[in-house]
């Protein structure tokens, strides 16, 4: 996607989501002021309206992380090149994406510094120093940070050179404890996606090809976007002892002998906001679930008639005060028309609009309009608070139900490779099919259909099947899709 | 300061704060696990115990910033070299300290990227694009971010190559509004230092030499450390139109003409934690003010007697439950002695220690020990909650009173340059004296005494004096000190 720094975005009609999904996505982000392109290629600015969403995600996720006993810390941005090279698969996986500092304080550096693409290597150097005994375990640490991965093709939120995330890094005495933590982390992410983002997804294990470089296994929450493509929502990795050994993290056990511990890491990034935009938006712009809406209710006074304008405007303040348990704003700007305001707040995806004019004032009521489905209702002012609460809860629930249905309706099973190819050429979506788990078939399928293995769903049952590609025995139906 | 990565820090006696302040400072940080040296020279790891303090500072400051109507956003880490060069003084000020990325995605970059040392230039490029009309003003944006300044001599928290901070950047129609914002920001910082850090300081304006590169004027909160040196706690800058012009930020005014707006910026960093450690700590380690203590109360059960151990340990849980309004931990580890635990939690600066053993259990009371002054009291369990609240409030207040007194006692007036030199050779501290405001005298004084102008205190009165250095007319007594 090219940068469109010079393009102006006024209030003209958005392109339809169904006509040009990619353009709609970019336009809606720029017009709603969620984000903007930065002067450096591939970097973005997260503007206040977008960042407010990220702050709410952070708060909700941070609470979950802290409740699990994990504590926040901060590790450096710069990693010495030699640290990164300690784990072979890891450095091979990240090398093509690195940004490297070679000049510091006016001179060439003796050792080049890598701008962290992820922090395993720097964190595990410290763990190697800090961990001595079983008394030091478990180590449960998380950090909120920026990371940099050089990307050729970038897209706002979904794939940017720099992005924001949290990365948890834990160390355990026993493999069983590490595996429980991998699960715990992913359960937290799934909860965030379901209860805040209102996006249903599939929880499963990545294939050997698709797993994190250096991990024993990688778990994911895969979501389906409206164009039938998959988006990986987050990952949680079982690292086993793969990093402990090269980084020499060892502890004196209760048995008096030295052992390598078991490690996990897990991350959730601003990419999630891309999913939020795509999953719920429509031709009129964003649709934000109430849990993540910076503004949950916009009050728009109808001020056309001069003799009632003052009373109407005053009433909006009463209403805002009555609704102080919610995130409410009033738009009483005189320089914009009512119609312009409706479009503006629809574009910004505010879940609920309250209109109040002379007629409503007289009847002691207000007009409520839902952003998600346009449903309008007249509500007595005396019941406004409870009705707003009920409506916001309903909108949150309805958006998730819609997402669940969409996922269900667009997850198919393919019994043959031909059937699969037809689906990938037409409606796309998630497809479950037998695969023998060989990387050869996986690569061929990717080359021929652009579809990749997304995961082995957690609820997949062991069966006696045959790989749709090579016909060899296959035990599980894996989830395939084209992906972002 | 050299890196001491290989040095082990056990529980041996700390060096005395009065014997070797610099070594005490480093030791107490490493031993209390506030921070550690990173593999990259000049970088540090903020460990969970230190980061928890930063999180509390962030929360308190973020609330103040949001209440002022400022919204958070996020701008990129990388700045194109050409953006940085737009404001002449600014680029000259920061050039020697830059870390520069020259390699990205496996190849040499066409345009080198500066890792932000501060974000004026990248933010103002965006403002130039976003601001068109008086309707777009004021712009009130803040970001929490990491920044990098290449430093020759580094010190944990006080001066590290990478540090964390917030930087606010506002744009106003009128100069008066910008100046009010500069004041508002500094008032917020002063409140944080006084009510959370419990450190008194002097609010004032920096000299022309010491101001921020590119600013019209810079305001600061200067604190005095126990070794008689000053620490600049934060800064708030009046940028006037100095950046608006080169960055071409202009708006169409209500008068239909194009104008340059007035800008401010202001920042508060993890350096503040260095001040916290130095200001309050003693020979036994940290002393944390209750407002910023990750653990406010540590409960230590006396479990020596086997027949009472179970009842005592259970009682600690009742107490913790009773004190759930506070940040409370129980240390019932069997592998450490009571004495070891006392030392450990004193080192970590926990404001209040509760001891409970068989005797206390029998008398339905607990022993409370204040970290700041060692005062011990027996409190009936029925009154514990209210007494803990009272004691924590008192400790917070007492620490601030002590800081106020220290500042007062160590701020002197010098009538002659000789008198000033003697103070700088001996007890140091803050000195108020007439200075003609010429950079020549300022430089000479710095060369001869290592002391710099810290600020013109806000409450300084206009007088008819003579510069202590050159004897020329001087209107104000400026604040001088040696500084970190």
- B172 and B46 within one domain: yes
User: What phi, psi does A297 have (nearest 5°)?
Assistant: -135, 125
Residue B264 sits in the same domain as residue B299: no
Based on the fold, state whether residues B383 and B418 are members of the same structural domain: no
Question: In this complex, which of B5, B80, B148 lies closest to A40 when CB atoms are compared?
Answer: B80
Average pLDDT, chain B: 94
Q: At what angle do helices A384-409 and A306-322 cross, to 10 degrees?
A: 70
- How confident is residue A84, by pLDDT bands cut at 50, 70 and 90? confident
Residue B131: pLDDT over 60: yes
Q: Provide the pLDDT for residue B138.
A: 98
Average pLDDT over residues A176-186: 98
pLDDT in tens, A106-117: 899 999 999 999
Q: What is the CATH number of the domain that holds B116?
A: 3.30.930.10
The verdict on B467 and B443 lying in the same domain is yes
Q: Do B73 and A129 touch (CB under 8 A)?
A: no
CB-CB under 8 Å, A146 with B77: yes
In a domain, A65, yes or no: yes
Our count of domains for chain A comes to 3
B192 and B274 co-located in one domain: yes
Which bin fits B262, alpha (ψ -120 to 50), beta or left (φ > 0)? beta
Interchain pair A36, B145: CB under 8 A:
no
- Chain A touched by B73 (CB under 8 Å): yes
Residue A254 lies in a domain: yes
pLDDT in tens, A255-291: 999 999 999 999 999 999 999 999 999 999 999 999 9
Does residue A39 form part of some domain?
Answer: yes
Read out DSSP for B124-141? HHHHHHH--BGGG--EEE
B241 lies in the same domain as B94: yes
Q: Is the pLDDT of residue A377 over 70?
A: yes
Smallest Cβ–Cβ distance between B76 and the set A40, A79, A103 belongs to A40
- Tell the residue number behind the tokens 């300044």, with chain if given: B149
Residue B251 and residue B345 in one domain: no
Q: What pLDDT does B12 receive?
A: 60
Q: Are B379 and B476 found together in one domain?
A: no
Chosen from A5, A38, A54, A83 to mutate, greatest number of chain B CBs within 10 A = A38
How large a percentage of chain A has pLDDT more than 70?
98
Whether residue A221 sits in one domain with residue A105: yes
Q: What is the pLDDT of residue A58?
A: 98
Last residue within a domain, chosen from A359, A391, A423: A391
Residues in B closer than 8 angstroms to A152, CB to CB, are 105
Give per-residue pLDDT as tens, B218-266.
Answer: 999 999 999 999 999 999 999 999 999 999 999 999 999 999 999 999 9
Return the number of CB contacts < 8 Å for A and B. Answer: 165
A43, A72, A100 member nearest B48 (Cβ): A72
Q: Taking a C-beta distance cutoff of 8 angstroms, is the pair A229, A282 a contact? A: no
User: Quick one: A426 and A322 in the same domain?
Assistant: no
Q: What is the predicted pLDDT for the residue at B308?
A: 85
Q: Are residues A208 and A328 in the same domain?
A: no
pLDDT of residue B288: 98
Domain boundary among A333, A362, A391: A391
For residue A305, the model assigns a pLDDT of 77
Q: Specify the CATH number for the domain of residue B307.
A: 3.40.50.800
User: What is the average pLDDT score of chain A?
Assistant: 94
Q: What burial letters (b/e) apply to B7-39, b meaning 16+ CB within 10 Å?
A: eebeeeebbebeeebeebbbbbbbbbebbbbbb
DSSP code at position B450: S
Look up the domain containing B314 and give its range: 295-390
Whether residues B382 and B424 fall in one domain: no
Q: pLDDT (tens digit, 9 = 90+) per residue, A414-431?
A: 999 999 999 999 999 999
Question: Residue A324: which pLDDT band, with cuts at 50, 70 and 90?
Answer: very high
Taking contacts as CB-CB distances below 8 angstroms, the residues of chain A near B76 are 38, 40, 43-45, 162
Q: Do B103 and A100 touch (CB under 8 A)?
A: yes
What pLDDT was estimated at residue A12?
60
Q: How far is B199 from chain A (nearest CA, A)?
A: 25
pLDDT of the residue at A5:
35
Is residue A242 within 8 Å of A87, Cβ to Cβ?
yes
Question: Does the distance separating the beta carbons of A104 and B98 come in below 8 Å?
Answer: yes
pLDDT digit string (tens) for A118-162? Answer: 999 999 999 999 999 999 999 999 999 999 999 889 999 999 999
Domain for residue A96, yes or no?
yes
Q: What is the reported pLDDT for A7?
A: 35
Is residue A255 in some structural domain? yes
- Gap between the Cα atoms of B78 and A39, Å rounded: 9
Secondary structure of chain A in HEC code, one letter for each residue = CCCCCCCCCCCCCCCCCCCCHHHHHHHHHHHCCCEEECCCCCCEEECHHHHHHHHHHHHHHHHHHHHCCCEECECCCEEEHHHHCCCHHHHHHHHHHCEEEEEECCEEEEEEEEECCCCHHHHHHHHHHHCCEHHHCCEEEEEEEEEECCCCCCECCCECCEEEEEEEEEEECCHHHHHHHHHHHHHHHHHHHHHCCCCCCEEEECCCCCCCCCCCEEEEEEEECCCCCEEEEEEEEEEECCCCCCCCCCEECCCCCEECCEEEEEEEECHHHHHHHHHHCECCECCCCHHHCCCCEEEEECCCCHHHHHHHHHHHHHHHHHCCCCCEEECCCCCCCHHHHHHHHHHCCCCEEEEECHHHHHCCEEEEEECCCCCEEEEEHHHHHHHHHHHHHHHHHHHHHHHHHHHHHCEEECCCHHHHHHHHHCCCCEEEEEECCCHHHHHHHHHHHCEEEEEEECCCCCCCEECCCCCCEECEEEEEEEEC
Q: How many other C-beta atoms are found inside a 10 Å radius of the C-beta of residue B158? A: 21
Mean pLDDT of B165-169: 98
Residue B13 lies in a domain: no
Residues in chain B closer than 8 A to A39 (CB atoms): 79-80, 83, 122, 125
User: Is B289 within a domain?
Assistant: no
Residue at A371 is within a domain: yes
**Tell me, what CATH number does A444's domain have?**
3.30.110.30
Q: Chain B closest CA to A353's CA: distance in Å?
A: 23
Chain A nearest CA to B265, separation (Å): 17
Q: How much is the pLDDT for B94?
A: 86
pTM comes to: 0.95
Euclidean distance between the first and the last CA atom of chain A, given in angstroms as a whole number: 13
């Amino acid at each position: 996607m090219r940068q469109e720094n010079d393009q102006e975005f006024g209030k003209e009609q958005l392109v339809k989501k169904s006509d040009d999904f990619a353009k709609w996505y970019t336009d809606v982000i720029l017009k709603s002021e969620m984000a903007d392109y930065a002067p450096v290629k591939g970097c973005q600015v997260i503007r206040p309206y977008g960042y407010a969403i990220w702050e709410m995600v952070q708060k909700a996720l941070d609470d979950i992380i802290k409740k699990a006993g994990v504590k926040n810390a901060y590790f450096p941005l710069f990693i010495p090149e030699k640290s990164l090279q300690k784990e072979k698969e890891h450095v091979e996986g990240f090398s093509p994406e690195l940004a490297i500092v070679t000049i510091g304080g006016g001179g060439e550096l003796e050792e080049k510094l890598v701008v962290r693409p992820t922090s395993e290597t720097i964190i595990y150097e410290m763990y190697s120093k800090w961990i001595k005994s079983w008394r030091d375990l478990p180590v449960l640490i998380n950090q909120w940070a920026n990371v940099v991965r050089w990307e050729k093709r970038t897209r706002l939120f979904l794939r940017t050179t720099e992005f924001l995330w949290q990365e948890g890094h834990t160390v355990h005495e026993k493999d069983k404890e590490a595996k429980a933590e991998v699960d715990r982390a992913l359960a937290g992410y799934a909860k965030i996606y379901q209860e805040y983002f209102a996006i249903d997804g599939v929880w499963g294990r990545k294939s050997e090809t698709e797993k994190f470089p250096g991990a024993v296994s990688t778990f994911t929450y895969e979501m389906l976007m409206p164009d039938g493509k998959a988006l990986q929502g987050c990952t949680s990795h079982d690292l086993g002892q793969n990093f402990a050994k090269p980084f020499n993290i060892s502890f004196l056990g209760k048995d008096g002998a030295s052992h390598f511990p078991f490690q996990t890491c897990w991350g959730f990034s601003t990419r999630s906001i891309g999913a939020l935009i795509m999953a719920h938006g429509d031709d009129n712009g964003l649709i934000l679930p109430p849990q993540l809406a910076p503004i949950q209710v916009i009050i728009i006074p109808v001020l056309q008639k001069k003799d009632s304008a003052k009373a109407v405007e005053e009433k909006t303040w009463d209403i805002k005060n009555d609704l102080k348990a919610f995130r409410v704003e009033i738009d009483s700007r005189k320089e914009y028309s009512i119609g312009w305001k409706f479009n503006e707040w629809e574009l910004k995806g505010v879940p609920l609009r309250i209109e109040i004019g002379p007629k409503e004032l007289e009847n002691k009521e207000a007009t409520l309009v839902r952003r998600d489905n346009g449903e309008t209702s007249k509500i007595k002012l005396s019941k406004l608070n409870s009705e707003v609460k009920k409506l916001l809860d309903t909108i949150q629930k309805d958006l998730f139900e819609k997402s669940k249905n969409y996922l269900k309706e667009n997850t198919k099973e393919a019994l043959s490779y031909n059937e699969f190819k037809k689906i990938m050429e037409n409606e796309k979506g998630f497809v479950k099919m037998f695969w023998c788990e060989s990387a050869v078939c996986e690569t061929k399928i990717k080359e021929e259909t652009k579809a990749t293995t997304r995961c082995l769903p957690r609820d997949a049952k062991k069966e006696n099947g045959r790989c749709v590609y090579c016909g060899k025995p296959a035990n599980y139906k894996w989830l395939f899709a084209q992906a972002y």
